[in-house]
Amino acid sequence: MASILTGDREYFKGIDQIKYEGPESDNPLAYRWYDENLVVAGKTLKDHFKFAVSYWHSFNGNGADPFGGATHNFAWDEKADAVERAKDKMDAAFEFFTKLGLPYYCFHDVDVVDYGNDINENDRRLQTLVDYAKEKQAASGIKLLWGTANLFSHKRYMNGAATNPDFHVLTHGAAQVKAALDATIALGGENYVFWGGREGYMSLLNTNMKREQEHLAKFLHASKDYARKNGFTGNFFLEPKPCEPTKHQYDYDAATCLAFLQKYDLMNDFKLNLEVNHATLAGHTFQHEMQVAADAGLLGSLDANRGDIQNGWDTDQFPNDITEVTEYMMVLLRAGGLQGGGINFDAKIRRNSTDMADLFYAHIGGADVFARSLIIADKILQKSDYTKIVTDRYSSFDGGKGKEFEEGKLTLEDLRAYAVENGEPATISGKQEYLENLINRYI
């Protein structure tokens, strides 16, 4: 009998519900650390992370690369009719989400159903799949973490969408965003993401940067106003990335996005969705990007993945480095968590990972490394002298003249007088190796 969860057929045959079995388990299809009910720092792991599966990498990404075609041949990709095919894919997706036991998913409009060039027909297709997703969400309890529109794949966006020099192209981007917002609202999506893959330029020789950025700001305001008018109360996220596919992208990194949001009066509605591999492409660590966002009140959501340290593009591999993720989790805990978002696995299995189970191993490993790292990070913050060392490092600003300086009470002459009076400062260690060892001690 057809079930709403699995449609007419089971796509991931032979794989049952993935469960938490604890660190001693040697079952590769079980969580060893991600116990969704475990309470750490006052919240369950489920609530800390709000893990999401990304539709595009898991159900559209077929292993093709610039040197060869698909290696992942999906059973849900067979029917000729776009809407029927999309429904099969959604059956497979919800079967996967349910078996995996992660609470959320994320999508771009064109991940859910193929788009053509007719706006009205595209809207109808998406609407049909939104109705279908609504039933599946209700039956499974799986929720939408965020929706977004793909404004970078179609050839009309080769010079950008909101920053395209041609107004006509911009309007097509707006049509897509409107439909994607409608879909997100209809599905109770908690957030909406703007990743501007082609919002930037290839050559300054043909570009008016100022005008393009002003257009982007106007576009974001119009989108936000539309969504608010239609009852959307969630967060909007910008997703920074420095380059790829466009040479110079306007949302380069967290600090660049912060300046943009401030300049164009978008701070009340927008936060950031940070991605590990985008941070490293920008020449930053991910923890740096997280801290910049946290300090500005913009730590919204995370796209979890990792790059390849030997090369320089967005390889979108699944996270697996405990030391690094522990450092992310230290920033997360100290920031008091994410604002509205969660942890979306914006990651894909490799071209030569061709078993159905590979997609499960990838997500299980990702969830486990975050869970294990959060537990470790919490211990470091609770039990070690880590916090004290960092706090004490600034103690000269806690009283006396240092405090007066922080309060804006000292002039440049006052500062000079202090230097003269107190002679040469003592040499104070930054203790970097001590702190690195401390992290390893808790791992």
Phi first, then psi: give them for residue 104, nearest 5 degrees. -135, 165
* 148 contacts ligand XLS (rule: CB under 6 A): yes
Judged by beta carbon, residue 101 or residue 197, the one nearer ligand XLS is 197
Site size toward ligand XLS, by CB under 6 A: 10
Smallest gap from Cβ 356 to ligand XLS, in A, equals 23
Smallest gap from Cβ 148 to ligand XLS, in A, equals 5
Active-site option among 108, 215, 284, 363:
108
Which residues, 255 to 284, sit near ligand XLS by CB under 6 A?
275
* 303 contacts ligand XLS (rule: CB under 6 A): yes
Judged by beta carbon, residue 347 or residue 367, the one nearer ligand XLS is 347
Single residue of 123, 253, 269, 314 touching ligand XLS by CB under 6 A: 314
Judged by beta carbon, residue 31 or residue 105, the one nearer ligand XLS is 105
Q: Is 278 within any annotated ligand binding site?
A: yes
Smallest gap from Cβ 316 to ligand XLS, in A, equals 7
Q: Is 316 within any annotated ligand binding site?
A: yes
Smallest gap from Cβ 60 to ligand XLS, in A, equals 11
Q: For residue 148, list its beta bridge partners.
A: 108
Q: Is 239 within any annotated ligand binding site?
A: yes
Q: Measure the CA–CA gap between 329 and 168, rounded to whole angstroms.
A: 44
* 318 contacts ligand XLS (rule: CB under 6 A): no
Decide: 31 and 18 in contact? Cβ < 8 Å: yes
Smallest gap from Cβ 106 to ligand XLS, in A, equals 8
CA geometry: angle 353, 358, 361, nearest 5 deg: 135
**Burial category of 355 from C-beta neighbours within 10 Å (exposed 0-12, middle 13-18, buried 19 and up):** exposed
> Which residue from 36, 34, 56, 97 is spatially nearest to 303, judged by alpha carbons?
56
Active-site option among 111, 182, 253, 269:
111
The contact set with Ni ion (CB under 5 A) reads 275, 303, 314, 346
Judged by beta carbon, residue 40 or residue 169, the one nearer ligand XLS is 169
Chain CA centroid to CA 346, Å? 7
Judged by beta carbon, residue 199 or residue 303, the one nearer Ni ion is 303
Smallest gap from Cβ 274 to ligand XLS, in A, equals 10
Residue nearest to ligand XLS (CB): 195
Catalytic residue flag (residue 215): no
* 346 contacts ligand XLS (rule: CB under 6 A): yes
Q: Greatest CA separation found in the chain? A: 86
* 253 contacts ligand XLS (rule: CB under 6 A): no
Phi first, then psi: give them for residue 300, nearest 5 degrees. -90, -55
Catalytic residue flag (residue 108): yes
N-terminal to C-terminal alpha carbon distance within the chain? 48
Judged by beta carbon, residue 97 or residue 152, the one nearer Ni ion is 152
At position 387, the amino acid (one-letter code) is: T
Judged by beta carbon, residue 275 or residue 368, the one nearer ligand XLS is 275
Tell me whether the omega of the peptide bond preceding residue 242 falls within 30 degrees of 0, making it cis: no
Q: Is 314 within any annotated ligand binding site?
A: yes
Decide: 381 and 335 in contact? Cβ < 8 Å: no
Decide: 196 and 162 in contact? Cβ < 8 Å: yes
> Which residue from 146, 429, 440 is spatially nearest to 273, judged by alpha carbons?
146
* Residue 148 near which of ligand XLS, Ni ion, none (CB within 5-8 Å, type-dependent): ligand XLS
Smallest gap from Cβ 401 to Ni ion, in A, equals 46
List helix spans (H) across 191-281: 209-229, 254-263, 276-281
Taking each helix axis from N to C end, the angle separating 82-100 and 356-383, rounded to the nearest 10 degrees, works out to 40
Kind plus residue range of the DSSP H or E element containing 440: helix 432-442
* 239 contacts ligand XLS (rule: CB under 6 A): yes
109 contact partners, CB below 8 Å, separation of at least 6? 115, 122, 126, 147, 148, 149, 150, 176, 179, 180, 183
Single residue of 72, 87, 178, 241 touching ligand XLS by CB under 6 A: 241
Point out which residues bind ligand XLS (CB under 6 A): 108, 148, 193, 195, 239, 241, 275, 303, 314, 346
Task: Return the active site residues.
Answer: 108, 111
Known binding residues for Mg(2+) are 239, 275, 278, 303, 314, 316, 346
Residue numbering of the annotated binding site:
239, 275, 278, 303, 314, 316, 346
